[in-house]
Structure 1
Amino acid sequence: MTQVNGTPVQVEEEADEPGWEVDPDDDWGVAVVETVGRQLKLRREAVGMRAAEFGLAVGYGEDLVYKIESGKRIPRPEYLDKADKVLGAGGLLSAMKEDVKKVRYPKNVREIAKLEAQAVELGVYVGLSLHGLLQTPEHARALFEARQPPYSEEEVERLVTARMTRKAVFDKSPVPALSFVQEEAALRRRIGGTMVRRRQLEHLLEVARLRNVTFQVMPTESGAHPGVDGKIELLKFADGTAVGRSDGAFNGRPTTEPKELRILELRYSTIRAEALTPGESLAFIEHLLGET
């Protein structure tokens, strides 16, 4: 415990968790963090505070202050709030929390979320696990905690938050048309224990009953179909453009080529035709829920 003007202050040194480091390949993220760090440094110097003195005032170590100001570390939201108050920034530093929050999400997650937010139609076939837009926080956390090598606790929370943020697509106006085809095996997998699985099935029922959502189950007993090679995603936008991706086509890369998109659309249409109807799928989930 350190004294600042006679007041005890708990000084925290953030551990070098990967979730707080800047991805050097994320150009936008690097630019945001460097800009935030530069503003913090300019504000601190403008009021005549040394880094060590400022660190004590906000309750963090001097080394962390230098790392944040040099753009090497992503500041926590509470760090920006404390800095705003100490430096008398009138809310300008606190306002940076929104951009910083986005930087904390992995670059690929931000890109996926951006496309999903812009889409007017989304069609997805998923095999081994539930699609991220369908997951509860507890289900997502259990999946991330099972990864090897293991994520740190902060990294798990960061990834769960990022995944849940993507679900803002359900609150868009006008609402997009969402279609999901999910393999039965993923619905039967007992992830996170009985209560987590039960809540996940209840959530699936809630989503599947939305007017803009079509949810179908692909029975395990079905024969070979175009989705056995892996996940298929199709997104269509208001300007008539589209993007698609499949694990089993075009080396897994996203495509906007009309010919390739038609192939993916044909595969997805075939999958939907072979899956249970939406009504049968709802009944199937209710049956699974009754078994838990």
Structure 2
Amino acid sequence: MPGNRHTSVRSRQIANELRRYREKAGLSCTEAGAKLGVSGSKISRIETGVSGLQIEDVAALLGLYHVPDAERHTLVELAKSADQKGWWERQTGLPQNWKNLMEFEAKASRIQNFENMFVPGLLQTAEYSRAILRAIDDTLSEDELESLIATRMARQIVLTRSQAPQFLAVIDENALRRTIGGSGVMKRQLQHLLTIADTRNVVLRVVPTSAGVYVGLQGPFLLLEFQDEPDIVYVENHYTMLFLEEEQDLASYRMGLRNILGVALAPGATAELIKSVVGEA
């Protein structure tokens, strides 16, 4: 069922959480509705963003699903400002934050990602991802590290499903030449890029170092486009993650992407450059 083109990121995230809790409780929409004296279609409309969120409905559903008090309080408070634009969350646990992004990626019809430091997360190998995560936080236990890697690998499934989104990845050449995890890890990562670039829904382009100074040096971003919901820009740094949805923000990042593509190599030339870097590894 199509979503609502005017639904905010907050509302969409609450809807995603409500669906997740219902499924965890083992209830269908019809069963959940029956327990609350409403139709199953109403539950479905809430979860797909067709219906606006009412605080009373959110609280009732969270109670029905036996959601812990702390989580229930957080979502109810979020529901009070559900119509406000924009969303940011401080980085306190990567799996939780990635889950938010993965929910939106799963619904997107097109994903456009620019990276100037690393290979895009959707295209990383497990060993490359491990090297980054370990370097970023050397306090992680082995179990925690494995959980993070598994989450990142699970995120990539979105590109291989039957209704996969179109994915454009634009990478700064320096990210390809930065040795992460050793020469062997890096070489296999680059070979993986060459393999996945042949996928029908993936386009890979590289901005060569010869481009000099360009707008992409300001930082990475992810533009997610939807058929029936508002588009979103995702930006992440050391301490925060941001979902931007104001039209002026979207227009700014779209313009930035156009400027970046203006200095990027075409797909064929990109493949040749990656092959040359592999040969040097």
Q: What residue number does 1:203 align with?
A: 192
Helix, strand or coil for the counterpart of 1:227? helix
- Residue 167 in 1 paired to residue 153 in 2? no
What SS does the aligned partner of 1:190 have?
Answer: coil
Query: Mind listing any 5+ residue stretches in structure 2 that lack a counterpart?
Result: 1-16, 27-67, 69-92
CA distance in 1 between counterparts of 2:195 and 2:207 reads 19
Residue identity in the other structure for 1:270 = N
The residue type equivalent to 1:172 in the other structure is R
1:257 is displaced (CA, Å) by 1.7
Aligned match of 1:144: 133
Report 1 or 2 for greater relative contact order, CA contacts < 8 Å, sequence distance ≥ 6.
2
How far apart, in 1, do the equivalents of 2:191 and 2:104 lie? 27
Q: Aligned equivalents of 1:144 and 1:252: distance in 2? A: 17
Runs of 4+ displaced beyond 6 Å? none
SS of corresponding position for 1:268? helix
Given the two structures, how large is their TM-score scaled by the length of structure 2? 0.63
**2-structure distance, mates of 1:261, 1:233:** 11
Q: Residues of 2 paired with 1:198 and 1:232: CA distance?
A: 25
Cα distance change, pair 225–211 in 1 and its aligned pair in 2 (3 A):
same
* TM-score, scaled relative to structure 1: 0.61
- 1:264 to partner: Cα distance: 0.8
From 244, 268, 274, the counterpart of 1:279? 268
Aligned to 2:233, which of 240, 244, 248? 244
Q: Report the secondary structure of 1:260's partner residue.
A: helix
Amino acid at match of 2:148: L
- TM-superposed CA distance for 1:148, in Å, is 3.7
Separation (CA, whole Å) in 1 of partners of 2:99 and 2:200:
27
Q: Which residue of 2 aligns with 1:156?
A: 145
Residues 1:164 and 1:247: Cα distance change in structure 2 (over 3 Å) = closer
Matched, 1:229 2:234: no
Larger Cα-atom Rg: 1
Q: Map 1:3-22 onto structure 2 (within 5 A).
A: none
What is the SS of the residue equivalent to 1:123?
strand
Q: How far apart in 2 are the matches of 1:146 and 1:152?
A: 13
Look up the equivalent residue of 2:135 and give its one-letter code. A
Is the alpha carbon distance of 1:254 and 1:220 closer, same or farther for their aligned partners in structure 2, counting shifts above 3 Å?
same
Whether 2:265 is the aligned partner of 1:254: answer no
**One-letter amino acid of the counterpart of residue 265, structure 1:** R
- How is 1:175-214 mapped onto 2 (pairs within 5 angstroms)? 175-214=164-203
> Is the partner of 1:211 in helix, strand or coil?
coil
How well do the aligned residues superpose, as a CA RMSD in angstroms?
2.8
CA–CA distance in structure 2, aligned partners of residues 147 and 247 of structure 1: 14
Indicate if the aligned counterparts of 1:105 and 1:162 stay in contact, CA closer than 8 A: no
Matched, 1:288 2:247: no
Q: Which digits, 9 at most, give the CA deviation of each residue in 1:55-99, with x for residues without a partner?
A: xxxxxxxxxxxxxxxx9xxxxxxxxxxxxxxxxxxxxxxxxxxxx
C-alpha deviation, 1:230, in angstroms? 0.6
Secondary structure in 1 matching 2:222 = strand
Give % identity. 33
User: Partners of 1:114 and 1:265 in 2: how far apart?
Assistant: 22
Displacement after TM superposition at 1:256 (Å): 1.5
| Letter aligned with residue 139 of structure 2 | P
CA contact (8 A) 1:182 1:217 kept: yes
Equivalent AA in structure 1 for residue 204 of structure 2: F
How far apart, CA to CA, are the structure 1 residues paired with 2:257 and 2:119?
A: 17
- Unaligned 5+ segments in structure 1 are 1-26, 37-70, 72-103
Correspondence 1:74-85 to 2 at 5 A: none
Number of matched pairs: 196
Q: Note closer, same or farther for the CA distance 1:209–1:35 as it changes in structure 2 (3 Å cut).
A: closer
